[in-house]
Amino acid sequence: MSLEFATQRLRLVPGAATPVQGLREPLAERLLHGRAAALAPALLGRLYALCGQAHRICAEMALQALQTPETPIPMDASQRQALWRETLREHVRRLFLDWPRLLASPAPEGQALAASPALGHSVLPGDAALVEWVERQVLGMPWARWQQACQQNPAQGLLQWAHAVHNPLTQALVQAHRWAGAWQVPLQALHTPQPGAQVLTELASALRADGDFARQPRLRGQCRETGCWTRADDAWLPVPDVWTRLAARVWDLAQLAQAQGAQRLHAGACALGAGEAIAWCEMARGLLVHWLCVDAQGRVERYGVLAPTEWNFHPQGAAAQVLRGLDAQQPAPQLAAAVAVLVAAFDPCVDYALAPAGRAEEVSCA
């Protein structure tokens, strides 16, 4: 277990004015302050264990931007493959391990996960075995037919697919729809930036000026959200409710498995001034941002990490909007089930404790 998971937990209080509590500490800056910046990729890759490759790659690109300040930094081929494999694995693990528990749905056969090519260390986008496994264990139909059915109206297509195909994943989605389909949350997306975009300067300025910004981030005064439903390639994707956000993990997994799947994950880095750089990448849970400042000797003076959990579980953010509207007086099992659906959709990278009506019940979700 990483240090992050050992010391951090969200406290969710349905019906409260502040329904998300227990903000995470800025562990990256505490760990790296005064150390050689070159240590950041390895140290952060271990600190943030669930998405270690994404954090390592962001740190690597930020350091490279410092070394070549005139040139925007893209991912290289090895970084892209590592990020793609980690994102693919995270999706598969959430669908086959977390969904049965959080959505109280039937568990897939044990061999379905164990035999997944997505867990292999040498799997490549478009591998025949990977595509076949996704078609058989996830989609329940050929990729081309599923893609055609979902292409024109993905939200409606995903819902129709969930009702038409009978497997543990579709059963989970159908069961979750009674709650999540009714949670209409307008999408205020944290869009994936391009090198030189004004949003990068704004985020860096906020991180530089406010030591607590990474714990409660806002952009231009607004809470934003990020997830696999806010990919740069899916800017056109309609996301009308929380259920569509939940089903978007299936959409993303199916797209990632195809031959051009690794190209879905955008990343970059650029220098912002002397000794300052920012990097970003699209990962399983959404957009990850790293920002750092180093001194003349290359030691870390400041290091900020903006992870999807801090955006999505901001006390006034997307998940909080739903939590605030839940009836805290409903029976405890029903309330816990509704919160679990919300957690499955927004997928925090830490555990959570449900605290209805003054009681706290710890639930593991990471």
Q: Using only the alpha carbons of the chain, give its radius of gyration.
A: 20
What pLDDT shows up at residue 331?
92
Please give the average pLDDT of every successive group of 10 residues along the chain, which has 366 residues.
52 93 84 96 92 97 95 96 97 94 84 90 96 96 93 89 95 95 95 91 94 92 96 90 96 97 97 95 97 96 95 95 93 94 94 71 47
Tokens, residue 314: 């901001």
- Decide the pairing of beta strands 9-12 and 351-354: parallel
Across all residues in the chain, what is the average pLDDT?
Answer: 91
pLDDT of residue 112: 83
Using a CB cutoff of 8 Å and minimum separation of 24, what contacts does 169-173 make? 169/95, 169/99, 169/108, 169/138, 169/250, 170/140, 171/105, 171/106, 172/99, 172/100, 172/103, 172/105, 172/106, 173/243, 173/246, 173/247, 173/250
Phi, psi of 351 (to 5 degrees): -70, 165
Q: Which two tokens stand for residue 123?
A: 């799997």
pLDDT attached to residue 239:
92
* CATH code where residue 229 lies: 1.10.645
> Do 191 and 199 contact (CB within 8 A), yes or no?
yes
Q: Is 46 helix (H, G, I), strand (E, B) or coil?
A: helix
Please spell the DSSP secondary structure of 242-261, one letter per residue. Answer: HHHHHHHHHHHHHHHTSTTG
At 283, the amino acid letter reads M
Pick from 218, 155, 154: nearest CA to 190: 218
Encode pLDDT of 243-254 as tens digits. Answer: 999 999 999 999
Residue 24: per-residue pLDDT: 76
Taking every pair of Cα atoms in the chain, the longest distance, rounded to a whole number of angstroms, is 61
- For residue 357, the model assigns a pLDDT of 53
Nearest to 103 by CA among 322, 348, 261, 336: 336
DSSP characters over 296-339? TTSBEEEEEEE-HHHHHT-TTSHHHHHHHHS-TTS-HHHHHHHH
Domains in the chain, number:
1
- Full residue range of the structural domain in which residue 279 is found: 3-363
